[in-house]
């Protein structure tokens, strides 16, 4: 028998005129619940970004994009994008970026649902390399390994992925693909809320760094992360198709991966020189290394078992 989802369900079946109709998936509820949970712990202030980014209409005239953004004492930016294209397209991109005084991981939920396909990444993205920096791995992920254990059987490894992505993922990452069913969306909702609560908990407990050197290391690590994602995120093609090139670039640079101006001055090629073309421009490829990691390269103890 399949284990039951643990949190409240998303796909409430409603009886309409004697027949059972299942409400289609919408990521609206995911965002709502995450914000409720955040407000239980911290006082959220609207981000100054909210004025410029609140909603957009897709060029197909039937897709809506909703943006929300906040700040909190330990959170530089908490932002969410919900793309609502009805039953044929639902996207959630929800992230929490800590202030540089904290070496907290970056909360990352990227859920793409089109017709019946789901492409899912859910993680507390590490600020530092968790393969070489065992201290960082132990500090944040050791206690969370049981959480990953709970979900990786229900949400198994999604197969080969852009190799560079793996360096941005943690030992508890959920990378999965599945065909839509109400049950799977309930499992996803459970995992999302459990992971987010885990992030809120470590955020609550985090103490502010006072060492200037450490603060600037945190700042550069976050800047490098933002620089990669603003340039190479797999979602950007679809965003360009939905809202056009200029608006998509603006959304990616100034909303989704906001902070590159303030947090540092290094360029993409400073961080990732292997992407430099002969004429000095950035290689358009999404990945130089190609795709790999057929199976989950982390074991149950959080040790890396893949080959780099
Ligand atoms: C595919 N999205 C993917 C894949 C990953 C991610 C791993 C599989 C293909 C690949 O390996 O690149 C997600 N990759 C991530 C995330 C990180 C990363 C979250 O490195 C973070 C560090 N996805 C979105 C959004 C959209 C989206 C907002 O997050 C659309 C607006 C779409 N993702 C999308 C699509 C695909 C995809 C269409 C399949 C097409 C493709 O592989 O390029």
**Per-residue pLDDT tens for 20-37?**
556 678 899 999 999 999
Ligand 1, atom 20: nearest CA belongs to which residue? Answer: 165
Predicted pLDDT at 178: 97
pLDDT at 268 over 90: yes
Residue-by-residue DSSP string for 210-236: --HHHHHHHHHHHHHHHHHHHHH-TTH
Question: Would the CB of 161 count as within 6 Å of ligand 1?
Answer: yes
Q: Stretch 192-210: mean pLDDT, rounded? A: 98
Residue-by-residue DSSP string for 272-284: -GGGB-TTSSBP-
**Per-residue pLDDT tens for 238-259?**
999 999 999 999 999 999 999 9
Look up the pTM and report it: 0.94
Ligand 1, atom 36: nearest CA belongs to which residue? Answer: 234
Residues above pLDDT 90, as percent of the chain:
90
Structure tokens at 173: 């990452």
Q: Is the ipTM of this complex over 0.90?
A: yes
Question: Would the CB of 227 count as within 6 Å of ligand 1?
Answer: no
Radius of gyration of the chain (CA): 19
Question: Would the CB of 120 count as within 6 Å of ligand 1?
Answer: no
Distances (CA, A) of 32 to 49, 69, 87, 119: 19, 13, 19, 21
Predicted pLDDT at 25: 84
Confidence of residue 269 (pLDDT cuts 50, 70, 90): very high
Q: Stretch 162-169: mean pLDDT, rounded? A: 95
Ligand 1, atom 41: nearest CA belongs to which residue? Answer: 234
Ligand 1, atom 42: nearest CA belongs to which residue? Answer: 234
pLDDT at 89 over 70: yes
Predicted pLDDT at 21: 58
CA–CA separation, 66 and 92 (whole Å): 10
Residues counted in the chain: 308
**Helix and strand counts by DSSP (H, E) for the chain:** 10, 12
Question: Would the CB of 91 count as within 6 Å of ligand 1?
Answer: yes
């Amino acid at each position: 028998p399949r284990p039951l989802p643990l949190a409240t369900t998303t796909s409430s079946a409603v009886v309409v005129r004697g027949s059972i109709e299942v409400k289609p998936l919408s990521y609206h509820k995911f965002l709502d619940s995450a914000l409720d949970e955040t407000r239980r712990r911290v006082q959220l202030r609207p981000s100054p970004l909210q004025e410029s980014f609140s909603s957009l209409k897709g060029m197909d005239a039937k897709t809506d994009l909703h943006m929300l953004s906040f700040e909190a004492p330990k959170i530089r930016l908490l932002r969410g994008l919900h793309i609502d294209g009805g039953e044929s397209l639902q996207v959630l991109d929800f992230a929490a970026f800590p202030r540089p005084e904290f070496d907290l991981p970056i909360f990352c939920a990227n859920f793409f649902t089109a017709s019946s396909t789901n492409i899912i990444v859910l993680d507390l993205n590490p600020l530092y390399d968790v393969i070489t920096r065992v201290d960082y791995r132990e500090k944040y992920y050791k206690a969370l390994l049981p959480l990953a254990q709970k979900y990786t059987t229900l949400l198994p490894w999604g197969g080969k992925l852009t190799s560079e992505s793996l360096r941005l993922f943690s030992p508890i990452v959920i990378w999965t693909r599945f065909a839509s069913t109400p049950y799977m969306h309930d499992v996803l909702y459970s995992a999302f809320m459990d992971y987010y609560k885990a992030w809120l908990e470590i955020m609550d407990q985090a103490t502010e760094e006072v060492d200037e050197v450490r603060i600037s290391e945190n700042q550069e690590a976050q800047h490098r992360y933002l620089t990669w994602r603003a340039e190479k995120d797999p979602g950007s093609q679809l965003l360009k198709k939905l809202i056009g090139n200029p608006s998509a670039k603006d959304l990616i640079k100034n909303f989704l991966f906001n902070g590159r101006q303030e947090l540092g001055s290094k360029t993409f090629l400073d961080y990732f020189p292997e992407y430099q073309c002969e004429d000095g421009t950035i290689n358009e490829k999404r990945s130089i290394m190609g795709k790999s990691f057929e199976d989950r390269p982390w074991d149950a103890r959080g040790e890396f078992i893949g080959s780099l």
